[in-house]
Structure 1
Amino acid sequence: MEYLKEWQQALQIEISHLKKYGSNKFQLNNGHLVSNDQGFTYYFETPTKVIIAVGSNVTIQWGNQKVAGRILSAEDTSLLVSLERTLGDLIHEALLFHDPWELLEELIQRLDELKKSKQKRNRVKQMMKPTIPPKHPTEKNKSNSHELFFRSQYNSATFVWGPPGTGKTYTLARVAANKYFQGKRVLIVSHSNQAVDVLLLEIVQFLLKKERFSEGDILRYGTGTSLQEPITTQKLLETQDPKLAKEREVVTTEKRLLKQDLSHSFSKRDSETLLVLEKKLAVLLEKVRQKEIKFLKTAKIVGTTLAKAATDATIYEENFDLVIIDEASMAYVPQTAFAASLGKRVIISGDFKQLPPIAAARHALVDKWLREDIFHAAGIVDALKSGNWHPHLMLLKEQRRMHPEISAFTNQYIYGSKVFDHPSMSKKRNDLVEQGPFPNLASVLVDTSYTGQHCIQERASKSRLNLWQLLLSFQLIHESYTSGARSIGYVTPYRAQAMLMEQLLQSLYEKELASADIIAATVHRFQGSERDVMVFDTVDSYPKDRPSMLLTGKDSERLVNVAITRTKGKFIHVSDRSFMKNTVYKGKTIRQLVDHQEQTKQIITHQQIGTWIKQQHPKLRWIHALKLELVFKDLLEAKKTVMISLPEGTSLTSEWVAQLQALPKKIQVTIFSNQVVPIRQPVTVIHELFPFPFIIIDQHVLWLGQPLEGAKQIRPPFVAARLDSEKFVERLLAII
Structure 2
Amino acid sequence: MKVINFIKEWQRALQHEILHLKKYGSNKFLVSNGRLLSTEGSYTYYFDTALSLRIPIGSQVRLEWGSMKQNGRVLSSEGKGVMLAMEQSFGDLIGEAQLFHDPWELLEQLIERLDEMKKNKQKRIRVKRLMDPSMPAKHPVEKRKSNVHELVLRSKYNPVTFVWGPPGTGKTYTLARVAANKYFQEKKVLILSHSNQAVDVLISEISTFIQKKDRFRDGDVLRYGFNTGEQLEHHEAVTTSQLLQKDNPQLADEKEMLLDERRKLKQDIARSFSKRDTNQLLELETKIAKILDRIRQKELEFIQDAFIVGTTLAKAAGDAAIYEKEFDIVILDEASMAYVPQAAFAATLGKRVIICGDFKQLPPIASARDPLVTMWLKEDIFHRAGVVDWVNDGMLHPHLFLLKEQRRMHPDISAFTNQYIYHSLVGNHESVIKTRKPIVDLAPFPGMAAVLLDTSHLGAHCISEKGSHSRMNLWQVLLSFQLIHESYMAGERSIGYVTPYRAQADLMELILADLYEKELSTADIIAATVHRFQGSERDVMVFDTVESEPQTRAGMLLTGKDSERLINVAITRTKGKFIHVSNQSFIRNHVFHRKTLRQLVEHQVRNQQTIGTKDIGKWIKNQHPRLDWMHARKLEKVIRDIESAKNSILLSLPEQTVLPEQWKVQLQNRNQSVKLTVLAGESWKELQPDHILSVSLSFPFIIIDEQLLWLGLPLEANKGVHPPYIAARLQSEKVCEYLIGQFQTRQ
Identify the residue that residue 709 of structure 1 maps to in structure 2. Answer: 716
Contact 2:79 2:263 in 1 (8 A): no
Measured on the aligned residues, the alpha-carbon RMSD in Å equals 2.1
Distance 1:721 1:35, change over 3 A: farther
Partners of 1:466 and 1:379 in 2: CA distance: 40
Distance 1:68 1:630, change over 3 A: farther
Are positions 1:86 and 2:90 aligned together? yes
Partners of 2:372 and 2:716 in 1: CA distance: 54
Give the stretch that moved more between structures: 304-313 or 29-38.
29-38
Identify the residue that residue 667 of structure 1 maps to in structure 2. Answer: 674
Contact 1:649 1:711 in 2 (8 A): no
Q: CA deviation at 1:587?
A: 0.3
Distance 1:406 1:679, change over 3 A: same
The correspondence of residues 302-381 of structure 1 with structure 2, limited to 5 A, is 302-381=309-388
Partners of 1:462 and 1:35 in 2: CA distance: 43
Deviations 1:239-293 (A, max 9, x none): 1111121222223233334445666666676566555444433332222222211
Q: CA deviation at 1:234?
A: 1.2
Give the stretch that moved more between structures: 337-346 or 609-618.
609-618
Q: CA deviation at 1:118?
A: 1.0
- AA paired with 2:24? Y
Selected match of 2:475 from 468, 471, 474: 468
Contact 2:659 2:717 in 1 (8 A): no
Contact 1:321 1:344 in 2 (8 A): yes
Identify the residue that residue 41 of structure 1 maps to in structure 2. Answer: 45
- AA paired with 2:738? R
SS at structure 2 position matched to 1:224: coil
Identify the residue that residue 540 of structure 2 maps to in structure 1. Answer: 533
Partners of 2:689 and 2:402 in 1: CA distance: 70
Q: CA deviation at 1:334?
A: 0.2
Are positions 1:116 and 2:119 aligned together? yes
- AA paired with 1:162? G
Distance 1:611 1:310, change over 3 A: same
Contact 1:159 1:392 in 2 (8 A): yes
Distance 1:612 1:129, change over 3 A: same
Query: What count of residue pairs does the alignment treat as equivalent?
Result: 733
Are positions 1:56 and 2:59 aligned together? yes
Give the stretch that moved more between structures: 553-562 or 678-687.
678-687
The correspondence of residues 539-550 of structure 1 with structure 2, limited to 5 A, is 539-550=546-557
Q: CA deviation at 1:670?
A: 1.6
Distance 1:90 1:511, change over 3 A: farther
The correspondence of residues 401-550 of structure 1 with structure 2, limited to 5 A, is 401-550=408-557
Give the stretch that moved more between structures: 314-323 or 690-699.
690-699
Identify the residue that residue 588 of structure 1 maps to in structure 2. Answer: 595
Contact 1:110 1:338 in 2 (8 A): yes
SS at structure 1 position matched to 2:438: helix
Partners of 2:208 and 2:524 in 1: CA distance: 22
Partners of 1:82 and 1:708 in 2: CA distance: 61
Partners of 1:409 and 1:284 in 2: CA distance: 56
Partners of 1:340 and 1:52 in 2: CA distance: 29
Deviations 1:31-85 (A, max 9, x none): 43353633362423235x5443223333455667655443333335544445555
Distance 1:507 1:256, change over 3 A: farther
SS at structure 1 position matched to 2:143: coil
The answer for unaligned runs of 5 or more in structure 1 is none
Give the stretch that moved more between structures: 251-260 or 304-313.
251-260
- TM-score by structure 1 length? 0.95
Identify the residue that residue 726 of structure 1 maps to in structure 2. Answer: 733
Partners of 2:320 and 2:458 in 1: CA distance: 58
Identify the residue that residue 155 of structure 2 maps to in structure 1. Answer: 152
Contact 2:664 2:687 in 1 (8 A): no
Contact 2:43 2:85 in 1 (8 A): yes
Contact 2:189 2:308 in 1 (8 A): yes
Q: CA deviation at 1:376?
A: 0.5
Identify the residue that residue 557 of structure 1 maps to in structure 2. Answer: 564
Q: CA deviation at 1:651?
A: 4.6
Distance 1:79 1:543, change over 3 A: farther
- TM-score by structure 2 length? 0.94
Selected match of 2:190 from 183, 187, 191: 187
Partners of 1:288 and 1:512 in 2: CA distance: 41
Distance 1:375 1:472, change over 3 A: same
Identify the residue that residue 233 of structure 1 maps to in structure 2. Answer: 240
Partners of 2:669 and 2:66 in 1: CA distance: 43
Identify the residue that residue 197 of structure 1 maps to in structure 2. Answer: 200
SS at structure 2 position matched to 1:247: helix
Distance 1:65 1:597, change over 3 A: farther
Contact 2:653 2:717 in 1 (8 A): no
Partners of 1:127 and 1:41 in 2: CA distance: 47
Are positions 1:389 and 2:399 aligned together? no
Q: CA deviation at 1:5?
A: 1.0
SS at structure 2 position matched to 1:479: helix
Partners of 1:187 and 1:682 in 2: CA distance: 69
SS at structure 1 position matched to 2:629: strand
Selected match of 2:301 from 289, 294, 304: 294
Partners of 1:732 and 1:95 in 2: CA distance: 27
Identify the residue that residue 10 of structure 2 maps to in structure 1. Answer: 7
Identify the residue that residue 218 of structure 2 maps to in structure 1. Answer: 215
Are positions 1:628 and 2:626 aligned together? no
Identify the residue that residue 656 of structure 2 maps to in structure 1. Answer: 649
Q: CA deviation at 1:721?
A: 1.4
Deviations 1:498-542 (A, max 9, x none): 111112111111111111111111111111111111111111111
Partners of 1:698 and 1:306 in 2: CA distance: 51
Give the stretch that moved more between structures: 717-726 or 269-278.
269-278
Selected match of 1:136 from 135, 139, 156: 139
Identity %: 60
SS at structure 1 position matched to 2:729: strand
Deviations 1:197-247 (A, max 9, x none): 111111111111111111111110012111212201111111111112122
Partners of 1:341 and 1:546 in 2: CA distance: 46
Q: CA deviation at 1:618?
A: 1.2
Partners of 2:628 and 2:368 in 1: CA distance: 45
Identify the residue that residue 579 of structure 2 maps to in structure 1. Answer: 572
Q: CA deviation at 1:390?
A: 1.2
Partners of 1:65 and 1:735 in 2: CA distance: 32
- AA paired with 2:703? I
Partners of 1:627 and 1:273 in 2: CA distance: 69
Partners of 1:308 and 1:534 in 2: CA distance: 33
Partners of 2:223 and 2:71 in 1: CA distance: 33
Contact 1:135 1:155 in 2 (8 A): yes
Partners of 2:706 and 2:647 in 1: CA distance: 9
SS at structure 2 position matched to 1:663: coil
SS at structure 2 position matched to 1:429: helix
Give the stretch that moved more between structures: 420-429 or 76-85.
76-85
Contact 2:364 2:377 in 1 (8 A): yes
Distance 1:30 1:695, change over 3 A: farther
Deviations 1:459-489 (A, max 9, x none): 1111111111111111111111111111111
Partners of 2:331 and 2:219 in 1: CA distance: 20
SS at structure 2 position matched to 1:139: helix
Partners of 2:662 and 2:38 in 1: CA distance: 64
Contact 2:166 2:403 in 1 (8 A): yes
- AA paired with 1:327? E
Give the stretch that moved more between structures: 402-411 or 495-504.
495-504
Contact 2:36 2:92 in 1 (8 A): no
